[in-house]
Amino acid sequence: MKFSDVVDALERLERTTSRTQIVAILTNLFKKVIEENKDIIDKVVYFIQGKLWPDWYGYPEIGIGEKGIIKAISLAANVKEKEVEGLYKQLGDLGLVAERLMAKAPKGGLMMFVKKKEELTFEKVYETLKRIAFMQGEGSRDLKIKTLAGLLKEASPKEAKYIVRFVQGKLRLGVGDASIIEALAHVAGTTKDVVERAYNLRADLGAVAKIAVTEGPEALKRVRPKPGVPVRPMLAERLNDPKEILKKLGGKGLAEYKYDGERAQIHLLPDGKVVIFSRRLENITRSYPDVVQYAKSGLKAKEAIVEGEIIAVNPETGEPRPFQELMRRRRKHDVALAMSEIPVNVKLFDIIYVDGEDMTNKPLPLRRKRLEEVVEESEEFSLSTAKLVSTPEELEQFFHQSISEGHEGLVVKAVHDKSVYQAGARGWLWIKYKKDYKSEMVEPVDLVVVGAFYGRGRRGGTFGALLVAGYDEKRDAFATVCKVGSGFSDEELARLPELLKPYISETKPPRVISNVKPDVWVRPALVAEIIGAEITLSPIHTCAKDEVSAGSGLAIRFPRFIRWRPDKGPEDATTCGEIVEMYKSRLKKVEEPT
Ligand code: ATP
């Protein structure tokens, strides 16, 4: 197919903002592709999207920066780089610069005496750009530039303009997926719903286009998820009232902890390979070699697509760590180091496909059951904590339980017959409930040790975390606020058994009010300075129980040990009343729905 046909369409697309016209231009272009060479429809679609292939392929990028493009234009137009740069300053668009200079370039050299210049084809442009992308290693920069210059030389000035813009990643046609889908539906003689459904299950518009034009609408209708190709994720709506949530869901729902991590779509391929896609469908496999291992050993199927949330955990206590920690890990270049410093767990919440079975059209209870069967759970790789709820009270209680364990809230999901997996849609089958009860913590508090937990991993043989409490003046007792396992140096950890020994008690000490049962109880004596990220409502901790909200106490989220306060006795610790004040003074408003 002539590249000029594509360029004509690009030019027209650039000139309009009307959706109807955009769809009409695309429809004509696709018709032309079908006439000329329908096998390249996928590539034409990617090209219109300004790409050579979907990002998740993980293929290299073209990899020529602005300087390189300038050099290529100078070579192709036979002018000095300075001249290209000068004109670029003036015009502000390298595409226009190429067009202008190529128009002036002498079409001379030997070419003049050889045969008439052949018309550039789309296939050639695409293949050349692909070749450039795959040029890697030593000397590849020069080779990339020379190859691009060669391509520009073969192009008309107008074609050169679009090639340059494409290479620069600045095609910017304003064509959305929806317009491409509509045009594809027209040329394939079907409705846009049929194309869209296929696209939601296989987030590769080029591949879907190819099925549409080479195999037809019936084949599109048969499209199922395919391990290795990301599925567009189902998304949740949001409500802040438990009653309304239940009403929307028809009276009951499966409430699941909402984990604050990174969404992961985990694909197990028939050859045993595992690929992980992010919420935005980037291939993030390389960031999570540990998750790849968990999936390999934890998925009992030949092929499968499951979904879950990857969360950072404290290696010693197994407790969740803030989302920022996970992002810190993603930024680290040394993946092995990041893995040991910031280990992760996966909390699975859905199954999209397993061994030939498309699960997307099955109701949630069936999917959850299948997920239970397919996943061999371990500490690192397990199903989300979930509970069937049918009253606002149950829902609220479970919400507090989630928060108190360090999670974000709940996602409450429909369980009726129509509770399918709606790929690519935000709908009312999933409702997130993350009413914000958080209050930022800005100053440290002094808390009394009332219990301790045995350590794991590196902390085997000593204690891994302490149960700490505030002083409850009204009851002259100590009410728990959190379990703290972070912030201790290795020496401090090693010293813990000796330090706690004199105070260890067989039974719960009389003045301790706690719903949490530690591995050992500790009589109130030692005071530690602690800072956390937030103070939140908690159904578990007993500090200020019922004072702010019925049935809840207050807890500190993401607490860190700062130092011991040997100068303070237990009654000198921060009081629960003070913690209430701190909570109230920094309370954030309920988050606006997103
Ligand atoms: P948010 O910023 O609230 O995470 P979002 O726009 O990324 O929202 P939504 O679909 O609105 O996505 O909210 C659901 C998100 O919550 C999912 O994308 C997923 O990453 C996360 N999540 C955590 N736990 C669960 C769970 N049990 N079930 C479904 N999603 C969960």
- Looking from the CA of residue 237, the nearest atom of ligand 1 is 11
Q: Where are the beta strands (DSSP E) in 260-355?
A: 262-268, 274-277, 304-312, 344-354
Pairing between strand 463-472 and 477-484?
A: antiparallel
- Looking from the CA of residue 234, the nearest atom of ligand 1 is 10
Kindly tell me if the per-residue pLDDT of 226 is higher than 70: yes
In this prediction, residue 491 has a pLDDT band, given cuts at 50, 70 and 90, of confident
Averaged over 128-145, what is the pLDDT? Answer: 96
Kindly tell me if the per-residue pLDDT of 108 is higher than 70: no
- Best mutation site among 232, 239, 258 for ligand 1, i.e. most ligand atoms within 8 A of its Cβ? 258
Encoded tokens for 141: 């920069």
Averaged over 201-205, what is the pLDDT? Answer: 97
DSSP 8-state code for residue 307? E
* Binding site as annotated, residues for ATP: 256, 263, 279, 309, 349, 426, 432
Average pLDDT, the chain: 92
Kindly tell me if the per-residue pLDDT of 132 is higher than 60: yes
- Best mutation site among 240, 279, 309 for ligand 1, i.e. most ligand atoms within 8 A of its Cβ? 309
Task: Report pLDDT for 117.
Answer: 64
Q: Report the C-alpha gap between 44 and 13 in whole angstroms.
A: 14
> Is residue 474 within 8 Å of residue 542, measured between CB atoms?
no
Going by CA atoms, what residue is nearest to atom 5 of ligand 1? 235
Averaged over 11-23, what is the pLDDT? Answer: 92
Encoded tokens for 115: 């045969």
Encoded tokens for 265: 């779509």
Q: Report the C-alpha gap between 111 and 117 in whole angstroms.
A: 8
Q: Which residues lie closer than 8 Å to 567 by C-beta, 6 or more apart? A: none
Going by CA atoms, what residue is nearest to atom 16 of ligand 1? 258
DSSP 8-state code for residue 575? B
Q: Report the C-alpha gap between 261 and 254 in whole angstroms.
A: 20
Task: Report pLDDT for 350.
Answer: 98
C-alpha of 91 from chain center:
38
Task: Report pLDDT for 123.
Answer: 98
Pairing between strand 534-538 and 439-440?
A: antiparallel
One-letter amino acid identity for 527? V
Number of H-type helices and E-type strands within the chain: 21, 22
Encoded tokens for 505: 């008690």
- Best mutation site among 349, 405, 429 for ligand 1, i.e. most ligand atoms within 8 A of its Cβ? 349
> Is residue 579 within 8 Å of residue 422, measured between CB atoms?
no
Task: Report pLDDT for 586.
Answer: 76
Encoded tokens for 137: 């290693």
- Of the candidate ranges 301-310, 334-343, 409-418, the one whose mean pLDDT is the lowest: 334-343
Residues in contact with ligand 1 by the CB-under-6-Å rule are 235-236, 256-259, 263, 279, 309, 349, 384, 411, 432
Third-level CATH fold of 443-587:
OB fold (Dihydrolipoamide Acetyltransferase, E2P) (2.40.50)
Distance 309 CA to ligand 1 centre (A): 8
Q: What is the pTM of this model?
A: 0.78
In this prediction, residue 457 has a pLDDT band, given cuts at 50, 70 and 90, of confident
Task: Report pLDDT for 592.
Answer: 39
Q: Report the C-alpha gap between 263 and 471 in whole angstroms.
A: 40
Encoded tokens for 202: 């296989």
What is the value of ipTM here, to two decimals? 0.95
Encoded tokens for 187: 């040329």
Q: How many CB atoms lie within 10 A of CB 451?
A: 26
Q: Which CATH superfamily is domain 1-166 in?
A: DNA ligase, ATP-dependent, N-terminal domain (1.10.3260.10)
Kindly tell me if the per-residue pLDDT of 566 is higher than 70: yes
Computed on alpha carbons and rounded to an integer, the radius of gyration of the chain in Å comes to 30
- Looking from the CA of residue 386, the nearest atom of ligand 1 is 27
Q: Where are the beta strands (DSSP E) in 127-186?
A: none
The 3 state secondary structure assigned to 411-461 is: EEECCCCCCCCCCCCEEEEEEEECCCCCEECCCCEEEEEEEEEECCHHHCC
Averaged over 38-64, what is the pLDDT? Answer: 95
In this prediction, residue 435 has a pLDDT band, given cuts at 50, 70 and 90, of low
Kindly tell me if the per-residue pLDDT of 437 is higher than 60: no
In this prediction, residue 378 has a pLDDT band, given cuts at 50, 70 and 90, of very high
CATH 3.30.470.30 assigned to 233-433:
yes
In this prediction, residue 314 has a pLDDT band, given cuts at 50, 70 and 90, of confident
In this prediction, residue 328 has a pLDDT band, given cuts at 50, 70 and 90, of confident
- Looking from the CA of residue 384, the nearest atom of ligand 1 is 27
Kindly tell me if the per-residue pLDDT of 101 is higher than 90: yes
Please give the residue that has the higher pLDDT: either 361 or 58: 361
Going by CA atoms, what residue is nearest to atom 13 of ligand 1? 236
Kindly tell me if the per-residue pLDDT of 540 is higher than 80: yes
Distance 235 CA to ligand 1 centre (A): 7
Please give the residue that has the higher pLDDT: either 88 or 534: 88
Going by CA atoms, what residue is nearest to atom 3 of ligand 1? 432
Task: Report pLDDT for 294.
Answer: 98
Q: Torsions phi, psi of 263, nearest 5?
A: -65, 135
3-state percent helix, strand, coil for the chain, nearest multiple of 5: 40, 20, 35
Distance 436 CA to ligand 1 centre (A): 15
- Of the candidate ranges 35-39, 262-266, 402-406, 480-484, the one whose mean pLDDT is the lowest: 402-406
Encoded tokens for 302: 């030949």
Tracing tokens 């061994």 back to the chain, one arrives at 355
Distance 549 CA to ligand 1 centre (A): 26
295: left (phi over 0), alpha (psi -120 to 50) or beta: alpha
Q: Which residues lie closer than 8 Å to 548 by C-beta, 6 or more apart? A: 537, 554, 580, 583, 584
Averaged over 207-213, what is the pLDDT? Answer: 98
Averaged over 511-517, what is the pLDDT? Answer: 95
Averaged over 9-25, what is the pLDDT? Answer: 93
Q: Report the C-alpha gap between 387 and 377 in whole angstroms.
A: 18
Going by CA atoms, what residue is nearest to atom 14 of ligand 1? 236
The side-by-side arrangement of strands in the sheet containing 439-440 is 439-440, 534-538, 553-557
In this prediction, residue 590 has a pLDDT band, given cuts at 50, 70 and 90, of very low
Catalytic residues: 258
Q: Where are the beta strands (DSSP E) in 315-425?
A: 344-354, 357-358, 381-383, 386-389, 409-413
Q: Report the C-alpha gap between 445 and 437 in whole angstroms.
A: 19
Q: Calculate the alpha carbon distances from 577 to 475, 476, 510, 582, 583 in Å.
A: 12, 12, 21, 9, 10
- Looking from the CA of residue 262, the nearest atom of ligand 1 is 20
The 3 state secondary structure assigned to 478-524 is: EEEEEEECECCCHHHHHHHHHHHHHHEECCCCCCEECCCCCCEEECC
Distance 308 CA to ligand 1 centre (A): 9
* Binding site as annotated, residues: 256, 263, 279, 309, 349, 426, 432
Q: Which residues lie closer than 8 Å to 374 by C-beta, 6 or more apart? A: 299, 300, 301, 304, 306, 351, 354
Going by CA atoms, what residue is nearest to atom 25 of ligand 1? 258
Task: Report pLDDT for 210.
Answer: 98
Where exactly are the structural domains of the chain? 1-166, 233-433, 443-587
Distance 371 CA to ligand 1 centre (A): 18
Distance 196 CA to ligand 1 centre (A): 22
The b/e string for 190-218 (b: 16+ C-beta within 10 A; e otherwise) is: bebebbbbbbbbbbbbbbbbbbbbeeebe
Averaged over 47-61, what is the pLDDT? Answer: 94
Going by CA atoms, what residue is nearest to atom 12 of ligand 1? 235
> Is residue 343 within 8 Å of residue 321, measured between CB atoms?
no
Task: Report pLDDT for 438.
Answer: 62
Can 1-166 and 443-587 be said to share one CATH topology?
Answer: no
> Is residue 6 within 8 Å of residue 122, measured between CB atoms?
yes
In this prediction, residue 280 has a pLDDT band, given cuts at 50, 70 and 90, of confident
- Best mutation site among 259, 364, 403 for ligand 1, i.e. most ligand atoms within 8 A of its Cβ? 259
